[in-house]
Amino acid sequence: MPAAKRWMDFNEENVKQLPNSYGVFQFANDKKEIVYIGEGKLKHNISMHFSDEDAAESIVYFRYRENDSKKSSKQRKNILLKEYREKNGKMPEFN
C-alpha cells in the first residue's frame, strides 16, 4: 500500500476502534493476500463487510490508511487498484 498500519485481525473489537475519518483500506485472506481494496469513512465502510457473509468468511486481516478527504481516498484507491492489477494481472477477488 504501503499502509500506515500493519495487518490487523478482522474482528468487531478492532473495527470498533477505527477512526471515522476518510481513508483507504485493504482486506486480506488467511495468507495475507489482498482480496479487496476500498475507501470511504473507515469505521462505517469496514464494519459493513460483517453483514456480507461471503466476504466476511474470506476476510481474515485488514489494514488502513487515513486520508484528508473523500476525494483523496478515491484517488488513492484507484492508484492501489491499478498497481494491484499491473502486478497480478487481475483485480482483487472482491473488487
Q: Which residue has the cell 485472506?
A: 29
Does the predicted model carry a pTM greater than 0.85?
A: yes
- Topology of domain 8-88, CATH: GIY-YIG endonuclease (3.40.1440)
**pLDDT of the residue at 50:** 73
**pLDDT of the residue at 48:** 87
Mean pLDDT, all residues of the chain: 90
Ramachandran quadrant class, 7 (left: phi over 0; alpha: psi -120 to 50; beta: rest): beta
Comparing 50 with 66, the larger pLDDT belongs to 66
Q: Are 53 and 59 in contact (CB under 8 A)?
A: no
| Spatial distance between the Cα atoms of 26 and 92, rounded to a whole number of angstroms | 10
The pLDDT tens digits for 3-23 are 557 899 999 899 999 999 999
